[in-house]
Amino acid sequence: MSRLAHGLAATHARLVACALAVVGVPAVTATRAVAPVLAGPPQPAALSAELTPTAQTEMLWSAPTAIGACAAQPAARVVFPSEGPSRATGAGAIVWSASSRCPGGEGTRVDAIGAGDQPAPPAVPHSAAGRALVARGALLAGGAPHGQIVIAGASPGASSSGLLIQGLAGGPFEALKPVTGTAAPIALATAYLGDMALASPSAGGDGDATASSLNIHVERFFAHDFVRNVTVPTAGPGPLQALTLAMDYRSEVLAVWAQGGAVYARVVPNRGAPRQIQRLASIGLQPQIAAVLSDDERAIVAWSERRGSETAVYVDRSAPGVRFGEPELLERFSDPDGLPSPAASPSLVRLSSEGVMLAWAGAAAGRWVVRTAPVDLNGVGAPSTIAAPATDALLADLAAGPDADALVLWTEPLPTAAGPPDMNRQALFAARGFDGYQAHAAFGEPEQIAPPGPVSDATVAFDPANDRAVAAWQGEAARIEYSIRAGAPGP
């Protein structure tokens, strides 16, 4: 399937392939014409003749559709509760935060996903007694036990106070009340069986998440409330940044965060005292962190940092016992077009095959590109590259599916005659991939989800019951839009 034209008058030739100085993994070349994905080993440098885009022979994604008619706050979340990669336990939902001009006022909206993965009209979450339970600000959402979803945000009464609600996608909801006081939640993780973990600064932390201790709450698949509430010291009183949680099958939790110019990690086991804090490395500005934790007592942490106009991406694979060593530099480069690293970089997901896939934002020929690579006990595999002609490919999301598959999501802003690309006119694309042979990730051809427009904060999730996927983003007039991808067996 060929990608659709961006509406540009001229067609684009391939980027000249160029070797990248990648530390710790083999050099890979980046080539892109109409189909941008390298689904295999690095290819030799080459130029191609001009290619004329052709019409799509199969429409995998439904036409973009707006949810409601009012503006939203960034960003929407797509949630499917499950007890395993292919075992759904309840209806999914698109969760988002409405602006103050929306009917019903500012705060949480839930669109329950029904037959054909079509979302229902937006609903304000209510308790069984009919009381509105509305969180505000940037929302977190994830699967929870018993086919429910959990939503975390700020309390309407105090932006520094957290509000957590849980219930079936179609309602009713009830408030969760951790034993220890919490500020606004800033990290959420879910695991197989429906286990869920939440972390937030201790009560008294300010809006910058300044706290010398961190509250971690765990709800097990058999429970209806938090069964473990642990407070652990952080590295000091400074602001917490990029807090990330990961869980394994045993409901152990790995917390990773940046504080005081360094990356720290701490394991909270399912019983007993928390383990010692570990300092992984020094870190620059605007840190972004991803992590996975496995049952074999190993973990993988990836992060990006910015120093001046230069971005670097690292990965740290632990030894057994979640003992971290020296991190591995994946890539360092000057920021293309003066744009900061996309917020989704890096991303780590555990596939249903138990493999781990990593995606990050890299650079080639002066443009942002998307890298994907498997990670195993031997290290990071050979990366594949997604590059766009004459513009940037900006990583938006990476999601694992029920069939040992994954979807990588990215945007492509329209190029301009001079200067940076037009970030207000971006097309949205996806590609479906697998952990292939010879330690590389094999992705299929690009799939256009949305034509150029005001696309931002895009995200995607698989329905574990049928391998369909639902993407959501903020589009025209700041409304939430969505598209549904048909399930497709095989690569």
Query: Is 211 a domain residue?
Result: no
Query: Is 379 a domain residue?
Result: yes
Q: Please say whether the beta carbons of 110 and 118 come within 8 A.
A: no
pLDDT at 166 over 60: yes
pLDDT at 186 over 90: no
What percent of the chain is modeled with pLDDT above 90? 64
Q: What strands, in cross-sheet order, belong to the sheet with 213-219?
A: 187-190, 196-201, 213-219, 228-233
Greater pLDDT, 215 or 263: 263
Q: How is 39-62 classified by DSSP, letter by letter?
A: -SSPPPP-----------SS--BP
Query: Is 46 a domain residue?
Result: yes
Tokens standing for residue 409 = 């999501």
Q: Tell me how far apart the alpha carbons of residues 340 and 199 are, in angstroms, rounded to a whole number.
A: 27
pLDDT at 4 over 60: no
Q: Among 106-110, 205-209, 276-280, 321-325, name the one with the lowest average pLDDT.
A: 205-209
Q: What is the pLDDT of residue 178?
A: 66
Query: Is 369 a domain residue?
Result: yes
Domain count, the chain: 1
What does the pLDDT look like over 349-364, one tens digit per residue?
A: 999 988 899 999 999 9
What does the pLDDT look like over 377-412, one tens digit per residue?
A: 889 999 999 999 889 999 999 999 999 899 999 999
What does the pLDDT look like over 223-251, one tens digit per residue?
A: 988 999 899 999 888 888 999 999 998 89
Q: Tell me how far apart the alpha carbons of residues 242 and 261 are, in angstroms, rounded to a whole number.
A: 12
Tokens standing for residue 126 = 């209510």
What does the pLDDT look like over 277-334, one tens digit per residue?
A: 999 999 998 999 999 999 888 999 999 999 999 999 999 999 999 999 999 999 999 9
- Of the candidates 223, 202, 220, 224, the one whose C-alpha atom is nearest the C-alpha of residue 211 is 202
Query: Is 488 a domain residue?
Result: yes
Q: What is the pLDDT of residue 157?
A: 67
Q: What is the pLDDT of residue 40?
A: 31
Count Cβ neighbours within 10 Å for each residue of 273-289 and write b for 16 or more, e otherwise: ebbeebebbebbebbbb
Query: Is 273 a domain residue?
Result: no
Query: Is 118 a domain residue?
Result: no
Q: Please say whether the beta carbons of 350 and 294 come within 8 A.
A: yes
pLDDT at 39 over 50: no
pLDDT at 48 over 90: no
Query: Is 332 a domain residue?
Result: no
Q: Please say whether the beta carbons of 308 and 302 come within 8 A.
A: no
Greater pLDDT, 221 or 20: 221
| Mean pLDDT, all residues of the chain | 83
Q: Where in 44-135 does DSSP place strands (E)?
A: 65-67, 72-79, 82-84, 87-88, 93-98, 107-112
Q: Give me the domain span that covers residue 430.
A: 1-58+338-491
DSSP class of 338: G
Q: What is the pLDDT of residue 34?
A: 28
